[in-house]
Structure 1
Amino acid sequence: MDIEALRRDTPGTANRIHLNNAGAGLLSRRILETVTAHLELEAAIGGYEAAARERDRIDAAHTHIAQLVGGGPGEIALFDNSTHAWNAAFYSMTFRAGDRILTGRAEYGSNVLAYLQIAERTGAEVVVVPNDASGQVDTTALADLIDDRTRLVGISHVPTSGGLVNPAAEIGRITRAAGVPFLLDATQSLGQFPVDVAQLGCDMLTATGRKFLRGPRGTGLLWVRPEALDHLEPYVNEIAASTWDGRRGFTWHDGARRFETWERSYSNVLGLSAAVQQALEIGMDDIGQRAIALGTSLRDRLDAVPGVTTYDLGRQRCAIVTAKVDAMPTADVAAALAAHDINVSVTLPMETQLDTEERGVHPLVRLSPHYYNTESELDRAVEVFAELATAS
């Protein structure tokens, strides 16, 4: 991996230390030019006409995404963000009183709110699977909790609030053996390290384009195992999702396309497709190894600084690192880093309510390097943490 060449192709690296890839990765020139070129084409000849001219490239997005996740093109649906993709899967399921939804402590906040809404509406029960001693989903407890009332297991592969990587493949083995649908939120994992739906054993997977994939904002995707369609009835129907039978009925389109809507930003679709192709060309194995190594290095260095504490859980950890300066408010730490042109995020209690219930450590500074970051950039971030810890 030619890091200097990758950085030259990433304009944002010239003026900032970008450690906020769990928020939004920096666009490469290739992706930026792909998006802007289609917008210019729309301006020149019209939106419908530009879409017609670029139809083959637009349709190829499904093929490229399928290659990235290990599925088929007909198993991919495109959305304008990952939450809409996740909602399309979850709200297409039917729940009744007594049904159980199993989830983990690290589940994303919007997902939790959806579970609670359905529980309130239907009488279903939300069951939180405990963590094991390392802080990941306890798969033994999960297996014991699954019974004939279990309607869904919904898990965040990597939480928004830490470096934990949940044991998704083991969860998939358990759910497949039990015949229970498994919805995996891969928003923070896809693009950071290899994600293969066959190996993970999930039935539905959702993700975004803007984070570690380095695609444009306003992009999301849903992968659905063909057999899982038996459990799902799309909660929105429109002309992109089904075919009118000429009378008063309709037939759903084959595969995951039944979850899509007709209108979308084609410049963003092309940008997402370009981002996926970029990741495939660089190689997800190489991307994953470097991103995780940078996260490990940053975490170890911060742990060595007196007055700084990291908070990442799990047996397996990724490029996301969460930390505090012990004697300084988190918002002040983030502001000080920003003043040194270092991009980070801050975790919020409501983004992972179930984790907050158990640990109560949020807000935390969230740092998330990616493969185009350098060791010298990590050095500078650690220097600032050390200065703040000493000053406080």
Structure 2
Amino acid sequence: MATSNLAYFNHAGASLISTAVLDTVVAHLQLESRIGGYAAAMQQQPALDQVYARAAQLLNCDTDEVALTDSHSRGWRDVLSCLQFSPGDRILVARSEWGGNYAALAHMAQRSGASLEVIPCTATGEVCLDALAHMLDHHVRLVSLTWLPANGGLIQPAAKVGALTRAAGIPFFLDAAQAVGQLPVDVRALECDVLTTPGRKWLRGPRGTGLLYVRRAFLSALTPPVVDHFTAPFGQGRYTLRPDARRFETSEAGIAARLGLGQALKEALTQGIENIQHSIFAKSQTIRQALAHIPNVQLRDIGLAQSGLVSFTFDHCTAKTAQTRLNAQGIEVALNGLAFTPLDLQARGLTDILRASAHTTTTDTDIDRLIHAVSQIAANA
């Protein structure tokens, strides 16, 4: 929910929730204060069921393939923890892999003796599909890809990677944190086994929410290392894992936040993802074209196709200083350091970048303010 004096360009980090999402969250908290959390949740069960239905509609999957999480990282990590690696096993990632994923995989490889390898990329930054095809052998146990990396504007050829991994029978994890809500997403066409996203980014949902998709045929191979009475209900004298993706949930959850996510999903579906994509891409291109003409400012976007994430640096001003100066003028942008995309930034000789991400709520006036402020900083640096 935008404020009149804030030009907000960090929707790729945590977008501004709508008034309806805010009202939904607050209304449920008020209900909990009157009748208690359990009774309130029971009363809202039809609305909670709709969250799964809307998520399935958005991703083009079945509701039993969807779990609700508290973040992308939680869903991604919980499924990863089901996999077992041994010495000689290989894990493949792109150069632009999200730093959180890469850290988890590096830890897993170090602990198990598996090798973590980087897929070569093309001159424009995308995964080299020919190189990937040659790397896929019976030792490869996982391919992990960040579809829209945290910086650089890159859009990876996720569906083509999925076609290669499916043909080779290798699990494919797709980090869609920057894609869901910005691009049309069809998990069937993507041929991924796992897809994760938080609710707080392009979906404009509350923090502490997320979606996890697990392909039904892949789910049977996944046994969470820890369960509770919700994920493995007790019956006939024993605990049995749930047959659906909700085996990755727990018995406790923030119901108000989940209902807020459901409202955000409803709004995205009503507006139409294609319409949202068109608006975001048009605004990001306007920003790119303007930044490209400002002396002492360098665009850091790569890729044949580019998303709504616009990355740039200043020649004579650090990213942190520039961010501080922009914030002082009521302009919010993100600062991404090595932790976000360590392999990509190091390969390109960068330590950090500024990132501007507009959404459908971003106005022409907001964009004008951003460009004017960047021009002033560049001229006075």
Structure 1 and Structure 2 fold alike (TM over 0.5): yes
1:281 aligns with 2:257: no
For 1:385, the aligned partner's letter is V
Which residue does 1:381 correspond to in 2?
Answer: 370
Q: Distance in 1 between matches of 2:117 and 2:167?
A: 20
The one-character-per-residue Cα deviations of 1:133-186 (angstroms, maximum 9, x if unpaired) are 111111111111110101110000111123111110111111111111110000
Q: Distance in 2 between matches of 1:288 and 1:51?
A: 34
Which residue does 2:302 correspond to in 1?
Answer: 313
Measure how far apart 1:199 and its partner are. Answer: 1.7
The one-character-per-residue Cα deviations of 1:276-335 (angstroms, maximum 9, x if unpaired) are 110000000000111011111111110111110011111111110011111001111101
1:102 to 92, 98, 109: 92
Checking the alignment, whether the CA contact within 8 Å between 2:205 and 2:264 is kept in structure 1 is yes
1:27 to 17, 20, 27: 17
Structure 1 vs Structure 2 CA RMSD? 1.1
1:304 aligns with 2:293: yes
Measure how far apart 1:246 and its partner are. Answer: 4.2
Measure how far apart 1:59 and its partner are. Answer: 1.9
For 1:268, the aligned partner's letter is A
Q: Distance in 2 between matches of 1:254 and 1:238?
A: 14
Structure 1: 5+ residue runs without aligned partners?
A: 1-9
Runs of 4+ off more than 6 Å: none
For 1:66, the aligned partner's letter is A
For 1:150, the aligned partner's letter is V
1:186 to 176, 190, 193: 176
Checking the alignment, whether the CA contact within 8 Å between 1:296 and 1:318 is kept in structure 2 is no
Q: Distance in 1 between matches of 2:56 and 2:120?
A: 33
Alignment partner of 1:199: what SS? Answer: helix
Alignment partner of 2:116: what SS? Answer: strand
Checking the alignment, whether the CA contact within 8 Å between 1:129 and 1:142 is kept in structure 2 is yes
The within-5 A match list for 1:241-256 is 241-247=231-237, 249-256=238-245
The one-character-per-residue Cα deviations of 1:224-265 (angstroms, maximum 9, x if unpaired) are 110111332222211111122443x42211120111111000
Which residue does 1:367 correspond to in 2?
Answer: 356
1:326 aligns with 2:303: no
Q: Distance in 2 between matches of 1:35 and 1:244?
A: 32
Q: Distance in 2 between matches of 1:367 and 1:256?
A: 34
Measure how far apart 1:92 and its partner are. Answer: 1.3
Checking the alignment, whether the CA contact within 8 Å between 2:345 and 2:352 is kept in structure 1 is no
TM-score between the two structures when normalised by the length of structure 1 = 0.95
Structure 2: 5+ residue runs without aligned partners?
A: none
The within-5 A match list for 1:1-392 is 10=1, 12-247=2-237, 249-392=238-381
Alignment partner of 1:206: what SS? Answer: strand
Q: Distance in 2 between matches of 1:264 and 1:123?
A: 35
Measure how far apart 1:22 and its partner are. Answer: 0.6
The one-character-per-residue Cα deviations of 1:98-120 (angstroms, maximum 9, x if unpaired) are 11111001111111111111111
Percentage of identical aligned residues:
39
Count residues in correspondence: 381
Q: Distance in 2 between matches of 1:258 and 1:107?
A: 27
For 1:157, the aligned partner's letter is W
Alignment partner of 1:193: what SS? Answer: coil
Measure how far apart 1:223 and its partner are. Answer: 0.2
The one-character-per-residue Cα deviations of 1:204-224 (angstroms, maximum 9, x if unpaired) are 100000011000000011001
